[in-house]
Structure 1
């Protein structure tokens, strides 16, 4: 069981997320893992992923960290109040993307230790890869809705 989000855990998480994407036949992905302060620990972009994927993946993770809830909830709030989320994105210097695929990383006791952002396929598929990566290292995935994921949800 991992209790810290260090480089070793981040790289294992990325490997599992990318493997989940490959097993699902997804488009080439980019995965960004950030610590609780919003600093990039690790980032990998698969061959064939488009040019802006690193920035998109980082903005998904960063937006979740900035607001304290996962991208799924951030997307729900953006739909309900787009002007507010637009203002937040401006405050964040554009480094916030309110869509699924930004997932908070928590320890088993609920401590926030970072976030994962994935970009490359449909946002729901990106989110599924993030969850797979996070739970593969024994951590809890928080997408911003009621349930927390301690295992990969069934498709």
Structure 2
């Protein structure tokens, strides 16, 4: 993960948000959960910055999309009772994978907040596509 790529990813998420008609906050983190790039659109909600970073962090830490984690952390799910400190298990967070010869590993994450869960996922997917086609 580098700054130039992270900026392209946040821009892709913002372009998708414009198409969706929703103001978002978007964060890109590296494999250590450190913020590399962040954008907050004008009019985005006050909770968005924290939620976007939390979704990206969760995707990196648990190596899974937050949309997949949501039902798993609900009552009856295999991860029910997972401590929630710093974790946001709501759609909009996607881990970024890369092959480093010895296998695939998570090298970063994208998090989006501000729209519906579906809109957040769509914006995060737009950013993740930049990663996949780099």
**Which position in structure 2 is the counterpart of 1:52?**
47
RMSD between superposed Cα atoms in Å: 2.2
Q: Deviations over 1:112-135 (max 9, x none)?
A: 110000000011211111111121
Distance change >3 Å, CA 139–CA 100, structure 1 → 2: farther
> Is structure 2 residue 122 aligned with structure 1 residue 128?
yes
Output aligned runs, 1:140-155, within 5 Å: none
**Which position in structure 2 is the counterpart of 1:75?**
70
Structure 2's unaligned 5+ residue stretches are none
TM-score (norm 1): 0.76
| Superposed structure 1 runs of 4+ greater than 6 Å apart | none
Output aligned runs, 1:22-101, within 5 Å: 22-25=18-21, 27-81=22-76, 85-89=80-84, 94-101=85-92
TM-score (norm 2): 0.87
Structure 1's unaligned 5+ residue stretches are 141-155
Separation (CA, whole Å) in 1 of partners of 2:53 and 2:39:
11
| Aligned positions, number | 131
Separation (CA, whole Å) in 1 of partners of 2:49 and 2:107:
21
Distance change >3 Å, CA 81–CA 32, structure 1 → 2: farther
